[in-house]
Amino acid sequence: MITTSALQVRYGDTTALHPLDLDLSAGRIYGLLGRNGAGKTTLLSVLAGFRAPSAGSVTFDGAPVFENAAATTRICLIRDDGGLGDPTDKLTDILDMAAILRPTFDRAFAGELLDRFALPRRSTLGRLSRGQRSAFGVTVGLASRAALTMFDEAHLGMDAAARKVFADALLADYLARPRTFLLSTHLIEEQSPLFEQVLILHQGRLLLREDLDDLRGRGVAVTGPATLVDDFVSGLTVLAERRLGPTKEVTVFGGLDDEHRRLAGRAGLTLGPVAVQDLFIHLTGGLP
């Protein structure tokens, strides 16, 4: 549905996005992970047509996105820095305006979401807290019912209860009206179960694209006496090592075959799973 071909974005001398070929299918929920400055917001902005590519292309159902109203009315990006209106705008006025601008906008559903997030209807945008502003962004994003809906850290500042309301509303609406979502997040453990597939951006490049559930099985922590562990992991993809006295723990990426599992058993090494968040940290360069 949305396709990039050799897409590049540069800001002056800085390359924010190196040539990227990406194709997202209709009707899936994608997660976009990356460290601060990895290029997530740049990618989302260019996919939404908020800015032009420096080189290459972004097409939506075959047509270029930038300055193409037919495409951009079917794409909705909610940015973490707002952009929904002026501080003095009333929430209800912003929703009324969105309903006029977007043919697919469901004004009644937006009203329901305001209630579910317990947002004060009579308030202005400027009087909302950070978390309330995010909840309002989610309200606009979901009610847009856009074929491609993107949230840039939709949960920023939301408390735990609001984040659950967000997850429930997203899933319920997705099940009722399947469409494509791309969500960037730093709350990996909490939000990743919502994703079918994750994309990891690192330093402006797509580092990995994989089904979330497959990624969960890809990391293995090997623990035991240091020399035995070293022998065992030679030839495997090692992401990280930690030592505690004579014991060593090595994080290996790529899963283990049966032969390696047998060898580990015979050597008395302990094999343990690795959390997705830890895999992400290791894959993107480890701790500073």
286: buried, middle or exposed (CB in 10 Å: 19+, 13-18, 0-12)? exposed
Shortest Å distance, C-beta 194 to another protein: 6
Please work out the total of residues on this chain that contact another protein, with binding judged by CB under 8 A.
Answer: 26
Residue among 28, 25, 30 nearest 192 (CA): 30
Give least dist CB 145 to another protein, A.
18
**In this chain, which stretch among 71-79, 99-107, 189-197, 253-261 interacts with another protein, using CB under 8 A?**
189-197
Question: Residue 282 Cβ, how far from another protein at the closest point, in Å?
Answer: 14
Question: In this structure, are residues 7 and 56 in contact, taking their beta carbons and an 8 Å threshold?
Answer: yes
Binding mask 203-242 for another protein (x = CB under 8 A): ---------xxx-xx-------------------------
Q: Which stretch binds another protein (CB under 8 A): 6-14, 51-59, 253-261, 271-279?
A: 271-279
Closer CB to another protein, residue 88 or residue 270? 270
| Shortest reach from residue 230's CB to another protein, in Å | 24
Q: Amino acid identity of 136?
A: F
What single letter denotes the amino acid at residue 54?
A: S
Q: Does 175 bind another protein (CB under 8 A)?
A: yes
Site for another protein in 20-39 (CB under 8 A): 28-29
The token pair at 38 is 């990895």
Convert residues 58-97 into a mask of x (bound to another protein by CB under 8 A) and - (unbound). Answer: ----------------------------------------
Looking at the Cβ atoms of 89 and 190, the one nearer to another protein is 190
Q: Which of 60, 136, 151, 174 binds another protein (CB under 8 A)?
A: 174
DSSP state of 273: E
Report the DSSP beta bridge partners of residue 234.
Answer: none
Report DSSP state, residue 165. H
Which residues is 199 bridged to in the sheet?
Answer: 32, 209
Locate tokens 């193409």: which residue?
Answer: 68
Of the CA atoms within 13 Å of residue 40, those in its CB half-sphere come to 26
Q: What crossing angle do the helices spanning 130-144 and 160-176 adopt, rounded to 10°? A: 0
Does position 193 interact with another protein (CB under 8 A)? The reply is yes
Per rule CB under 8 A, is residue 265 in the interface with another protein?
Answer: no
Nearer to another protein, 205 or 282 (CB): 282
Please report the beta strands in 35-135, taking only residues with DSSP state E, as ranges in sequence order.
55-60, 63-64, 75-78
Residue pair 271/220 in contact (Cβ under 8 Å)? The answer is: yes
Chain contacts with another protein (rule: CB under 8 A): 28-29, 164, 167-168, 171-172, 174-175, 189, 192-196, 212-214, 216-217, 272-277
